[in-house]
Amino acid sequence: MNASLHSKNTSHPQKSLRALSTIPIALLAAFALALMLPATMRAQLDASARQLSREIFQQLVEINTTDSVGNTTIAAQAMADRLLAAGYPAADVFVGGPTPKKGNMVARLRGTGARKPLLMICHLDVVEARREDWSVDPFKFLEKDGYFYGRGTSDIKDGDAILMTMMLRFKKEGFQPDRDLILALTADEEGGDFNGVDWLLKNHGDLIDAEYILNPDAGNFESENGKKLLLGIEASEKLYADFTLEVTDKGGHSSEPTANNAIYHLADGLVKLQHFQFPFELNDVTREYFKRKAAIQVGETGAEFIAILKTPPDQTAIAKLSESPFYNARIRTTCVATRLEGGHAYNALPQMARANINCRILPGHSAEEVRQQVAKVVDDPQISIAQRDPDRAPTKINPTTQLGPEMISAIEKVRDQMWPGVPVMPEMDAGASDGAFTRSAGITTYGVPGVFGDINDDRAHGRDERTQVSDFYEGVDFYYRLVKILSTKN
């Protein structure tokens, strides 16, 4: 199957080359490359790989893994069964979790041990989805008009299916990597109290010990109306922290107001915070991001990217980019009021006023450092400021991860084979992923989606979630190629 497809398609460019012999060599080379590309892609992703990946994808979408009524153990066990049936030894396939419904799966393909293992993490759980909110059944896998529909088709059961297919193909081929390849499919990334990555780190660190990690559920492979724009690799992310600002007072009768009103104290503090901006700061990842993005960004914004990279950075450009919530979040720590409560009766002076501040902290800074900064800005000893739930989220300083040369060259190599000319871009996510746990534990982590998504059609967490069929199969091909490069010494 492979061989016949390959030879059939490569005959075309040769014929074309002879006919077009007057055209400059460089142009011909590009032309020939463009013609040959689909052939190489199809040669790799044969019908059986397509079918296998689709079957796994369907199976996973149709196992409900929501926090409310779902069960990740069933999905984890189903994937473990596939690996065992394919010849993975029982000792290399683990299913376990803190509760019966919150199982995780870890599988290992043994390599020569020349290098430290490579770990891939991807969550099995999905966001809640109600049948009445959707136009189709969210837990029935459906292919329609070039899309796969169902909860998890873009977040992130596509990634689970892609990585599972890769592990099964490697085993079938007898591929021996030069390092162990570990796959961890986990619970409770979207919600719930039993984050699987956190649980594995704390309870089975030996199972997932690795030189670095790939996570398909971070970063952005962006496309727009079928045009592929960029390959965004998440090389860093901000740290998440909530703070409770609280004022208490003895209260009293509202007919005789006092100067010490808890609501006014809190409101004054919040207004000060509203007008405060954390300082502009770039790191290795965002610096490289703005440098590379400037090359493809049209108009004034591109010039602003270059201006903020100067020493000293251009203040006008910083101010301009700060107007965009997207860019503002990438050049500074942010804190914003998200919840408010207070008072206990319409006719009483408030005994309590409380607000929640949600902060997204730049790598290299700690939650405690930000808490102290907020206290300085609010500048009111009556307002207490405490981090909410400090034990739940990773609270250590999030180290900046550099886009390592091995990783960037491997991704560019696959890019050249599959999507020539599409720029590779290191990114720092403003939001948090499971990478927060692994980075906090000191393990270098890269968010590498593999699957393109249209920037105007992101339905993750929403209704009628979907992924384009061709993008999914290209993701299957992409990960197979990338991990092979990363586990083969050349």
| HSE value, Cβ hemisphere, 13 Å, CA-based, for 289 | 24
Complex with Zn ion: residue 125 or 288, whichever CB lies closer: 125
- Chain residues 12-71 in contact with Zn ion, contact rule CB under 5 A: none
Complex with Zn ion: residue 155 or 188, whichever CB lies closer: 155
Q: Is residue 60 a contact partner of residue 139, using CB atoms and an 8 Å limit?
A: no
Q: Does 155 bind Zn ion (CB under 5 A)?
A: yes
Complex with Zn ion: residue 160 or 180, whichever CB lies closer: 160
- Minimum Å gap between C-beta 471 and Zn ion is 17
Q: Does 160 bind Zn ion (CB under 5 A)?
A: no
Complex with Zn ion: residue 151 or 169, whichever CB lies closer: 151
x/- track of binding to Zn ion for residues 408-447 (CB under 5 A): ----------------------------------------
Return the closest-CA partner of residue 286 out of 315, 243, 328: 328
x/- track of binding to Zn ion for residues 249-288 (CB under 5 A): ----------------------------------------
- Minimum Å gap between C-beta 164 and Zn ion is 16
Distance CA(103)–CA(73), nearest Å, equals 4
Return the closest-CA partner of residue 334 out of 388, 304, 389, 374: 374
x/- track of binding to Zn ion for residues 196-235 (CB under 5 A): ---------------------x------------------
Complex with Zn ion: residue 155 or 477, whichever CB lies closer: 155
- Minimum Å gap between C-beta 113 and Zn ion is 32
Length reported for the chain: 490
- Minimum Å gap between C-beta 187 and Zn ion is 12
Residue corresponding to tokens 């990960």: 479
Complex with Zn ion: residue 156 or 282, whichever CB lies closer: 156
- Minimum Å gap between C-beta 122 and Zn ion is 9
Q: Does 451 bind Zn ion (CB under 5 A)?
A: no
Distance CA(488)–CA(490), nearest Å, equals 6
- Minimum Å gap between C-beta 221 and Zn ion is 15
- Minimum Å gap between C-beta 123 and Zn ion is 6
Q: DSSP string spanning 299-359?
A: SHHHHHHHHHTSSSPPHHHHHHHHTSHHHHHHHS-EEEEEEEEE-S-TTEE-SEEEEEEEE
- Minimum Å gap between C-beta 28 and Zn ion is 44
Rg (CA), the chain: 26
Tokens at residue 203, please?
A: 């309870």
For the chain, the straight-line distance linking the first and the last C-alpha, in angstroms and rounded, comes to: 28
Complex with Zn ion: residue 218 or 349, whichever CB lies closer: 218
CA torsion angle 10 12 17 23 (round to 10) = -120
- Minimum Å gap between C-beta 461 and Zn ion is 8
Distance CA(134)–CA(124), nearest Å, equals 21
174-202 CB burial, b ≥16 within 10 A, e <16: ebebebbbbbbbbbbbbebebbbbbbbbe
Tokens at residue 25, please?
A: 């060599």
CA distance readout (Å), 45 to 13, 451, 470: 21, 15, 12
Tokens at residue 87, please?
A: 């010849």
Complex with Zn ion: residue 118 or 156, whichever CB lies closer: 156
x/- track of binding to Zn ion for residues 96-135 (CB under 5 A): ----------------------------------------
Complex with Zn ion: residue 217 or 465, whichever CB lies closer: 217
Q: Is 409 helix (H, G, I), strand (E, B) or coil?
A: helix
For CA atoms 414, 418, 423, 427, the dihedral sign is negative
Looking at the DSSP bridge assignments, the partners of residue 245 are 355, 385
- Segment lying near Zn ion (by CB under 5 A), choices 148-156, 304-312, 439-447, 476-484: 148-156
Q: Does 156 bind Zn ion (CB under 5 A)?
A: yes
Complex with Zn ion: residue 180 or 189, whichever CB lies closer: 189
Distance CA(173)–CA(109), nearest Å, equals 12
Complex with Zn ion: residue 403 or 432, whichever CB lies closer: 432
Q: How many CB atoms lie within 10 A of CB 473?
A: 19
- Minimum Å gap between C-beta 72 and Zn ion is 13
- Minimum Å gap between C-beta 217 and Zn ion is 4
- Segment lying near Zn ion (by CB under 5 A), choices 156-164, 324-332, 419-427, 474-482: 156-164
Q: Does 465 bind Zn ion (CB under 5 A)?
A: no
- According to the 3-state scheme, what is the secondary structure of 120-172? EEEECCCCCCCHHHCCCCCCCCEEECCEEECCCCCCCHHHHHHHHHHHHHHHH
Number of residues that bind Zn ion (CB under 5 A): 3
Complex with Zn ion: residue 333 or 433, whichever CB lies closer: 433
- Segment lying near Zn ion (by CB under 5 A), choices 152-160, 222-230, 242-250, 304-312: 152-160
- Minimum Å gap between C-beta 155 and Zn ion is 4
- Segment lying near Zn ion (by CB under 5 A), choices 68-76, 147-155, 265-273, 474-482: 147-155
Which positions lie near Zn ion, rule CB under 5 A? Answer: 155-156, 217
